[in-house]
Structure formats: structure tokens, C-alpha cells
Structure 1
Amino acid sequence: MHYSGFKVIKEALTGHRGWGPAWRDATPKAQYDYVIIGGGGHGLATAYYLAKEFKQARIAVLEKGWIGGGNVGRNTTIIRSNYLLDGNEPFYEFSLKLWEGLEQDLNYNAMVSQRGILNLIHSDAQRDAFIRRGNAMILNGADAELLSTAQIVERYPFLNVNNARFPIKGGLAQHRGGTVRHDAVAWGYARAADRRGVDIIQNCEVTGFRIENGTCKGVETSRGFIGAGKVASCVAGSSSRLMEKAGMRLPIESHVLQA
């Protein structure tokens, strides 16, 4: 099904009887070329680009809960590429360019809104740091604009620039930055990956790995063993706990946070 304004109008006039599931409720197969653990943004994007850009088939995404219900559903809404270090900035600028064309690529409304991002300057030292960051952004091909206090007052008159504790002395703006709804990103990737043949298997928790002579042959799950040529872990904050099941100790620790 292709989403469009015409489709929305048609369904509104016909009682919304033509909408189907966004993706299949796939039954696990015995063997895949790629098994991706984690049905969040990273796992689903990995599956989608493996199928789209690298023409790979026989791919499964295993999610212990439901799509959009994990960390991706609680993620920050901000998208940006206003970083300082040369190792970071090109990566995030490439990412921002993906965001700019994501909805057209996936044919899905992920609520991408490039309303811009403004980091305020409250001290002279912070101004120096943001000047460096803005220059680094421009050198790496990103957009950046250093704003004076007067320019900020003109654009955002509701801000109290003379706040005694946090006076506003300027700001660094990236007008291509903005916001996105991350659970919708997961749904969009899931739908697009499914259309390319990826099996998305929800309520399927990985409980262990079958490793023979140093080679991972597949994963043990709450829905039985699933063989795999390659296994990818895309489970965010659960990475250390999952990899412990494979006998690997990662140099990170997982902590439960409430933001």
C-alpha cells in the first residue's frame, strides 16, 4: 500500500475500510542469512538498508516487545549535526541529510520538522566554545550561524535575555536541525523493510546464542532456535546484558534511568 494524500481522502470518504497492517506478523523461519536483534531505530534501519542498498535477502528482525515500544519510543526528539570534533561532525551531517529525505524514502510520516535548533550562550567562555563549534560545523559542510543578543531578541522576543542567573549573550543556530517522532521512525522503517521482504518478529526475546567452535550459528529465543549466517546486536542500553549471554563482556554498563 502506498500512502498519499489521495489515499487519505479516499479512506476518509469510504469509512477507513481500506487500511491494512503496516507490516506482516511474520512467523520465524528456521534459518536466515541475517538475524538482527532489536526492533528499534538502529535494528530496523540496519535491516532496511541491508535489503535496499546491499540487495540482501533472508533477513529477520527480532524484537522482545513491540515495534516502537522500547528505547526508540522514549528517545530525544532533536535531530541536528552541531558537533565540534572532526570525527563526529561528518557522521552527524550525513545522518541529518538522511533525515531530510527519510519520509520520502520510506513513504511514511515520521513527523520530521526542520524548525531549527538554537543553543544559547550564557558566558564569555561558552561564546568562545560555540564559535569553535560553529567554525568546525562550517568546515565540515554543515550550516551554522552565530547570533548576537540583539538578533535573538528580534527573532524570539519572548526570551528573557537579562535573566540574572542565565543572561543570554548570544547563540549558535543550526536552521536545518529540528525534531522528529522516533517511534514513528521505527514504524516507518519497519513498514519499508517489510515491503522488501524482511521478517519482523515481535514478542521474540533472545535468550542465548548457539556458538560452535567460535562461530555463532544462531540464537535461542522465546519462540525457538533461529539459525543465522550473521547476527547483529542493536539493543541499545541492553547491549552488555545481551552480549553476556554470548560470553562477551563489553566495556560498558547498563543502568536503568528515568528521565
Structure 2
Amino acid sequence: MRIGILECGSNRPEWARFGRFADWFPPLLAQAGRTVDTRAWTVSEGVLPSDARECDAWLLTGSPASAVDDAPWQQALSAFLRPVIDRQPVVGICYGHQHLHRMLGGTVEQCPAWGVGVQHYALQDRPDWLGDPADATGFDLVALHHDQVTRAAPGTRVLAGSAFCPLGVTQIGSHTLTFQPHPEMDPAFAAEVYAFEKHRIGAAETLAALTTLDRPRDTARAARWIMAFLAHHLEDRT
């Protein structure tokens, strides 16, 4: 399986030690116990695949950009994805989740508060492609977002969510899986961003979020969900 990582943003120079956004996904997906080949394109800098057949599936990363900006690179990303989305499985993480919902007819808006800290997303609907019954439960994962999907794209199944973020994990149609939280994110990186954005998040809210970052996170479960979703569609296509 070759997964194309569509990198939707880049780190600030002072956070270069954490690597590129695309770097975080191969270690995450490896937690599912299946070897995958990945290739990355920096779509936020205008670099897109020349042919969707270069990969079996696609994954959109997070981004410091807003999904409502409609910058040229965002329009180009949508143009690439539209003919792909009914033929190949696509996964969206945080910004990617928002971009896909908006592209497919949903609404993304800025929230009054930030989604930060390790948040719990309770299971709402068990997907039929999930192989292991033990994985049919919710997630505790790192959140980092100010925008949020407030109206899902048509044809969405809500798989997991919270009171603050009802559309936390979704399936749009049959070929698209999205996560608002960040299963790939190092809590140390999240702490850096929370501190940097403290003036916007709020002092008390930042402190509360920082105190959650040492909690256990369900990153391996999220990886198994992603890989089960991709494997189901690729095996079905074969």
C-alpha cells in the first residue's frame, strides 16, 4: 500500500526539531502493525501529484491555515481531490478533516473557544469496516484547533465526538475518513503551540490544556482505524 501524504502546512523554524507535518504519519501508521510506503507532497507550497495513480490512498495533514481561506493552493488541492474522492480512499486529519467537509458541502466556522488538550471522543457509530471488535470504542487524542466543522457534508456518518466537538471522527460517503483531533501529534509539540498561542487561547485554558498532555492517548487505536479503513477499500477495489 502506498499512501500519498498531502502536507497542508509547515512548521515554524523554531519548531524544526519536531520535523515536517508529513514526518509524523509513518510512525503513527506503523502502530497498526502494517508496513506502508508513503510519499509526501507539500501542497501548501503549490506542489501536487501529477497523477492520482501514483498512490493507492491519500492523507491530508493538519495546517496553521484556515479551511475557509480559499487560497490558491487550497483551491488547487480541492481540484486534485474532487475526481479522486469517489475512486480512492482519502483520510483527513484536523485541517484535512475541515477541508474535506467544506469541499464536499459542509460548513467550517471559527469557534468561540479553542479545542486544546487531550480530549475524549466517545464512540457514536461502529463502522462496518472496523475489523477488531476491541477497537469499537472512543478515543483520547490531542486537540489543536480554533476552527471546527459545524455542519457536516452530506452523506456523513458521525463515528465519534464530544460535547465540544460533536463531529470529531466522521466518514463522508464511502471513501473518506476524517479526524478533527491529532493522533499523530507529539504532546511536546502541542505544548509548544499552546504556549505560543496562549494570548489567543487564554491563560487559564492554556494551563488546563497543558495539564492533560501526560494522559494516555489512543494513538495506536486511531492508526488501526485508519489502516482498517484503507485496507477495506483497497481490498474491495482489488
TM over 0.5: no
Q: TM-score, normalised by structure 2?
A: 0.22
Q: Which has the higher contact order (CA 8 A, sep 6+)?
A: 1
Q: TM-score, normalised by structure 1?
A: 0.20
- Structure of greater Rg: 1
| Greater per-residue strand proportion | 2
